[in-house]
Chain A
Amino acid sequence: MSKSKLSRRDFLNLAWGTAGALVATELSFVGFKFLSPRATDGEFGGEFNLGAYENYPLGSVTPIEVGRFYLVRLEDGGILAIYRRCTHLGCAVPFDQATGKFTCPCHGSVFTNEGDVLNQPAPRPLDIFALSINEEGDIVVDTSSPIQRDKTSAEDILYV
């Protein structure tokens, strides 16, 4: 019989210790998942069906109140869904139809209609939501998680 360096006592201590750590990890995971956010369709945090994209005129910004975002149709026909929350400290940013810009009332950040920063303190462009066109040709916006971007890019915009 070969002599193991691990004594019987050490082995049992290690085995029970590992089992204890495993239980703690499992229970933490269960607790964490239990508390994690849930989402419902048609409410903020879920998916929104906004109907046919032809209903939104070129060069328009339409606030979707329940979804807390703006549906932006650019002059060239591109579509994007811009989250209302300011990237500086979370205030609700209204769209100023007269100037065609987003102006935050709290700390003075200004954004273009594509969400790009014109005036700090906002550190990055406004967040966007994932947007797709389903089989019926309706716009579907998924508000479960806002997409952060360091710079605006052409990939943010959906062309049909």
Chain B
Amino acid sequence: MIEKESLPKRIFKSIQRDPLAPKDDRGRMKMVMNSLILHIHPTKTPKAALKFNYTFGLGGLLLLLGTVLAITGVLLIFAYTPSPDAAYESMIALQTEVFFGNLIRNLHHWSGNLMVVVAVLHLLRVFYTAGFSKPREFNWAMGIALLLLIVGANFTGYLLPWDQLAYWAITVGISLLDYVPLVGEPLTRLLLGGSEVGAATLTNFYGLHIAIIPLSIFGLVSFHIWRVRKDKITIPRKIEEQADKTKVTTVPHLVSIEFVFALAWVAILLLWSAFVNAPLEEAANPAHSPNPAKAAWYFMGFQELLMHFHPLFGAIIIPGMGLLGLFAIPYLDADMDSVGVWFRSVNGRWLALISANLGVIGAFAFVLVDEYWLDLPGWLPFLPSSISNGWIPMAGILLLLIAFYEALKAMKATACEARQSLFTLLFSAFITLTIIGIYFRGEGMAFIIP
């Protein structure tokens, strides 16, 4: 006999099919399976993977930041006009007239910048726990593509306030692209909509920032998470132990952690944005460059490279090799036994620590030596600058890296550990160059102590 339902209950059940407070594990699993949002999770999660200091919730934090950015971004569309005459006035209006205008802009600005940092940390977490190992290689590649899109979103958003900071950071940043042979020049012209930053650039960047890049990120993130779900999360373990494969239901064990984590981060973002204002300088003036003129902070590593190498090397060969290496890492990896172990082994931990320190020292030493002593183009005036300022220093650095790799092998590093150490050295050197570019460069880009 069919029980007769009341109409309100029938309407509710047509929307939410499962009871909101399930009584047993079966009900809790059904709740995840039948929910549009929750089904990005499996119905059961390995208990060991819930440990906070394994993932640090970095992927989840990126999703939260993306959501905050989407909401504040859509709000900002209503208060912003993308034209050189009106853009800066929109900024002033946000600060003075619009209710909570400053708060919303601050939230958007800081979440966007934080997203670059968190995406890099997420990459490091996955790297150092071998989370990219087979069959997850392609998901790592998608992660790199997402990182590039996040930087692209930041870069296009940087121009929109149309103040001096925005105008010249974009001018310098896009001039880096100009050094790419063949495609660089036409691509720059297409992005700028002319020869330099102007009204057409603002329209282009606005379209990219509010439509093309967010939609691409949304599509790629969906694919990325779907793959995580299909390939299953890696399980953390101690070096000599087997992975603990015990599972618990996702509701409430994982979902409650996520909820509290998200709430805590919303609180942090709100507090920070309530007290720290996003920078805004005077309106853009195309006739007057500031001194020094720097690119956006995440590009300062590249600008610093360009100060030491011929453009062909600083803008193409070195970043290109870095990016290629990043994509290739998971395909070189054959050691499936160390998945889920931080830095793969005790030896791996020591070598990574040494390499990170060497990277910092090496980058500083290189910058200082090149700044105050080394002057290859001056000593070898008969050679073209692409050799004296490109091939020769590049060969020197490659020789040092080969020596470093041999030293690692002498210290009984496995192939995986040696690659990990090499990555650590290069990564920490790049971060150091970025920091030097941001803090140690003053007027005329001369080296200064901050």
Q: State the A residues within 8 Å of B (CB).
A: 32, 35-39, 44-45, 65, 68, 83-85, 88-92, 104-108, 120-121, 123, 143, 145-146
How many angstroms from the CA of A65 to the CA of B288 in the assembled complex? Answer: 11
Partner among A84, A106, A120 whose Cβ is within 8 Å of the Cβ of B293: A106
User: Does B131 sit within 8 A of A, measured CB to CB?
Assistant: no
B284-307 interface with A by 8 A CB criterion: 286-293, 303, 306-307
B291 touches A89 (CB 8 A): no
Contact string, B186-226, partner A, CB cutoff 8 A, digits 1/0?
00011011111010100010000000000000000000000
User: Does B65 sit within 8 A of A, measured CB to CB?
Assistant: no
Q: A37-B189, A90-B171 known; A105 and B291 CB under 8 Å?
A: yes
How many angstroms from the CA of A39 to the CA of B288 in the assembled complex? Answer: 24
Q: Which residue of B lies closest to A84 (CB)?
A: B287
Other than the known A38-B200, A89-B171, A91-B172, what 19 A-B pairs have Cβ atoms closer than 8 Å?
A: A38-B193, A45-B194, A65-B287, A68-B286, A89-B175, A89-B303, A90-B171, A91-B289, A92-B286, A92-B287, A105-B291, A105-B444, A106-B289, A106-B290, A106-B291, A106-B444, A108-B444, A145-B189, A145-B195
Contact string, B385-411, partner A, CB cutoff 8 A, digits 1/0?
100000000000000000000000000
User: Does B343 sit within 8 A of A, measured CB to CB?
Assistant: no
How many angstroms from the CA of A107 to the CA of B172 in the assembled complex? Answer: 11
How many angstroms from the CA of A132 to the CA of B444 in the assembled complex? Answer: 36
Query: Which secondary structure characterizes the binding site on chain B?
Result: helix
User: Does B429 sit within 8 A of A, measured CB to CB?
Assistant: no
A45 touches B287 (CB 8 A): no
User: Does B321 sit within 8 A of A, measured CB to CB?
Assistant: no
A106 touches B200 (CB 8 A): no
Partner among B171, B190, B192, B193 whose Cβ is within 8 Å of the Cβ of A91: B171
How many angstroms from the CA of A105 to the CA of B204 in the assembled complex? Answer: 28
Q: A45-B195, A68-B286, A92-B288 known; A107 and B444 CB under 8 Å?
A: yes
25 pairs of residues in contact across A and B, judged by CB atoms under 8 Å: A35-B204, A37-B190, A37-B194, A44-B195, A45-B194, A45-B195, A45-B198, A68-B196, A85-B196, A89-B176, A89-B303, A90-B171, A91-B168, A105-B293, A106-B172, A106-B289, A106-B444, A106-B445, A107-B292, A107-B293, A108-B444, A120-B377, A121-B307, A123-B311, A123-B385
A90 touches B291 (CB 8 A): no
Partner among A65, A92, A146 whose Cβ is within 8 Å of the Cβ of B289: A92
Neighbouring A residues of B171 by C-beta, 8 Å: 89-91
> Chain B, interface size: which category?
20 to 34
How many angstroms from the CA of A160 to the CA of B111 in the assembled complex? Answer: 59
Neighbouring B residues of A90 by C-beta, 8 Å: 171-172, 174-175, 178, 196
How many angstroms from the CA of A104 to the CA of B291 in the assembled complex? Answer: 9
Query: What 5 pairs between A and B have smallest CB-CB spacing?
Result: A90-B175, A91-B289, A106-B293, A89-B175, A90-B171
CB distance from A65 to the nearest CB of B (A): 7
Q: State the B residues within 8 Å of A (CB).
A: 168, 171-172, 174-176, 178, 189-190, 192-196, 198, 200, 204, 286-293, 303, 306-307, 311, 377, 385, 444-445
How many angstroms from the CA of A88 to the CA of B171 in the assembled complex? Answer: 11
CB distance from A94 to the nearest CB of B (A): 8
Neighbouring B residues of A106 by C-beta, 8 Å: 172, 289-293, 444-445
Partner among B194, B198, B286, B445 whose Cβ is within 8 Å of the Cβ of A108: B445
Q: Which residue of A lies closest to B285 (CB)?
A: A92
How many angstroms from the CA of A84 to the CA of B293 in the assembled complex? Answer: 16
Neighbouring B residues of A107 by C-beta, 8 Å: 292-293, 444-445
Neighbouring A residues of B204 by C-beta, 8 Å: 35
How many angstroms from the CA of A38 to the CA of B307 in the assembled complex? Answer: 34
CB distance from B129 to the nearest CB of A (A): 39
How many angstroms from the CA of A90 to the CA of B184 in the assembled complex? Answer: 14
How many angstroms from the CA of A89 to the CA of B303 in the assembled complex? Answer: 9
How many angstroms from the CA of A120 to the CA of B311 in the assembled complex? Answer: 13
Q: Which residue of B lies closest to A109 (CB)?
A: B444
Q: Which residue of A lies closest to B295 (CB)?
A: A89
Neighbouring A residues of B445 by C-beta, 8 Å: 106-108
How many angstroms from the CA of A88 to the CA of B303 in the assembled complex? Answer: 11
Neighbouring B residues of A104 by C-beta, 8 Å: 289
Neighbouring A residues of B385 by C-beta, 8 Å: 123
How many angstroms from the CA of A45 to the CA of B198 in the assembled complex? Answer: 10
Neighbouring B residues of A85 by C-beta, 8 Å: 195-196
A37 touches B200 (CB 8 A): yes
CB distance from B444 to the nearest CB of A (A): 5
B292 touches A37 (CB 8 A): no
How many angstroms from the CA of A89 to the CA of B189 in the assembled complex? Answer: 15
CB distance from B208 to the nearest CB of A (A): 11
B286 touches A89 (CB 8 A): no
How many angstroms from the CA of A41 to the CA of B108 in the assembled complex? Answer: 39
